[in-house]
Structures are given as structure tokens and as C-alpha cells.
Structure 1
Amino acid sequence: MIPAIETNRLRLFAPNKDAFEMYKKFYTDGSASKMYGGPIGLEQAWARLKADVGSWYLSGFGVWVIQLKSNDTMLVHVVFGKVKNDQKN
């Protein structure tokens, strides 16, 4: 199980399928997602979520979502650590 970290205002967690509403709201908003290549459409937001969820299972680490708890807003997502391409050819 991947742990979540919570403060009074924020929640840091690994995304799952229940995070899609946050991803949809974040990635379809041009001002919120401009530093992440947005805005993008719903299908691309779903694909981004699937990739973020999948990285935990394929690599053992992945994206963390930082959520504002007062209104379930995704503020940002981050990866801590060195990311390398470990795909086998």
C-alpha cells in the first residue's frame, strides 16, 4: 500500500482512479495546467492519470498529487527522486 501524508490543509497521495475528477479539472483549465503542457482534453487527462497510476506498479515509485483538502483541488503533482528510463529493449 502506498501511504498518504496529510496536514490540516493539504493531502499528498499517489493517484488512483478516484483522482480523475481532479485531473479533469486541473488539465482542462489552461491557467492551472499551463506548466504541464495544458490545457488538454478529457481523453488526454485520462491517459495522463493512467500513466501516473501505472508508474507505481511498473517502477515502484511515481507521481504524488498535492491536493487542497478544503475544496478537493489538485494543486500540483510531483515526482521526488531521480527518474530514469528503465524500460527493457
Structure 2
Amino acid sequence: MQGVHAVTVSPVVIPVLETARFVLRGHTLADFDASAAMWGDPAVTRFIGGRPFTSDEVWARILRYHGHWALLGFGFWAIEDRATGQFIGEVGFADFRRPIEPPFGDTPEMGWSLAAAAHGNGVASEVVAAAAAWGDANFTHDRTVCIIAPENGASIRVAEKSGFGEVRRTDYHGSSTIVFERRRGG
């Protein structure tokens, strides 16, 4: 048939990371309901967009995570509790191409989000450290960045504990935000 071409897409291999209490793995279809519940919780999203996400936005997020792994070789992991097998959050890296000044370029941006029940138990510190170590071993970039709302003291503490330092304050979509940077091995 004239004008029809095919593109071969290689299988996406998402590494599995293990910590003492958690497994970081690629998202599966089975994670959708728990992820939608997490992103639909105002306690989770109050510093991330300021409103709960709809189920179609969560679906697009999961597809975006897989797209990052396929196109860029990095992305977000689902966080699974080793003891229960339950999905409790997400952590990883992305290139969101944010309209932020100055731009991040192709520097990987780290992010994390946890179900409210997992807050305050050292989960974020443990999984962010594991993801950052993976980034140190696998990125050619000499730094990673993250952005955090100034009111989000818990995430600021996690970032600082993981080697991120504040580099500037800026505005993103009309809200004040802090840009943090972590040098390789930070």
C-alpha cells in the first residue's frame, strides 16, 4: 500500500529499584485506581497545582511516564510497599519542558508524590535517595533540578536531605516556586 510506513518501537525496559521498604517499578494498568485516588486527594495536590486531578489527567500522566522511559531513557516509577504490595506514590525524573525562566533545557527534573497515608513516615526520603542514586549512575547530566512550592516544608526538607540546594525563586503559572538543584553525587 503506497504511503503507509511502519516505525519499529523497541520494548521499553524500566529498571526496578529496591529499598529496604519499597520497590520502585514501572506503572502498570493495575496502578490506575490507586494513582487516581492519590492525585484526586486535595491533601496530596495542595502544593501541586492546587486542585485534585481528574481521572483523565491521571491517565495522561501515566502514559507520559511511559513515554519518558521510551523516548528519554528515564521517567517516573510507581512506589510499591514491599510489605503490602500496595501502590503508595510516584517518584522519578521528567523533561516537562516547563515555560520557566531561566529554562531547564534538557536537565532532568525530579519529582515525587505520595498518598496521604504515606506522608510523614520517611517514605519520600528513602525513595528520593534511591532515585537520585540511579540518576547519578545513569545520567550524563551533571545536575538534576526540582521545583517546590515555598509552603511545602516537608518536600523542601526531603530535597535538602537528598542533596538539593535552592538556586532561585521564580514564578510558574502565576505561583511562587523555588528551584532546587542537585549536583551529581550530591
Give the TM-score taking structure 1 as reference length: 0.70
Distance 2:44 2:85 in 1: 15
How many pairs align?
Answer: 84
Deviations 1:21-67 (A, max 9, x none): 22111111111233332411111111111111111111111112223
Runs (4+) off by over 4 Å:
none
Larger deviation, residues 1-10 vs 57-66: 1-10
Please give the secondary structure, in 1, of the residue aligned with 2:46: helix
* Bigger RCO (CA 8 Å, 6+ sep): 1
Distance 1:35 1:65, change over 3 A: farther
Tell me the C-alpha RMSD between the 2 structures. Answer: 2.6
Bigger radius of gyration among the two: 2
> Is 2:25 aligned against 1:13?
yes
> Is 2:55 aligned against 1:42?
yes
For residue 89 of structure 2, what is the amino acid of its counterpart? L
Larger deviation, residues 39-48 vs 2-11: 2-11
Distance 1:71 1:2, change over 3 A: closer
Conserved 8 A contact 1:16-1:53: no
Correspondence 1:64-79 to 2 at 5 A: 64-69=77-82, 70=84, 72-79=86-93
Give the TM-score taking structure 2 as reference length: 0.38
1:7 shift after superposition: 4.0
For residue 66 of structure 1, what is the amino acid of its counterpart? I
Within the candidate set 33, 44, 47, 1:32 is matched to 44
Q: Name the one with the larger strand percent.
A: 2
Q: Name the one with the larger helix percent.
A: 1
Q: Point out where structure 1 has 5 or more consecutive residues left out of the alignment.
A: 85-89
**Paired-residue identity, %:** 25
Please give the secondary structure, in 2, of the residue aligned with 1:66: strand
Q: Point out where structure 2 has 5 or more consecutive residues left out of the alignment.
A: 1-12, 95-106, 110-186
Distance 1:33 1:71 in 2: 23
Give the match for residue 60 of structure 1: 73
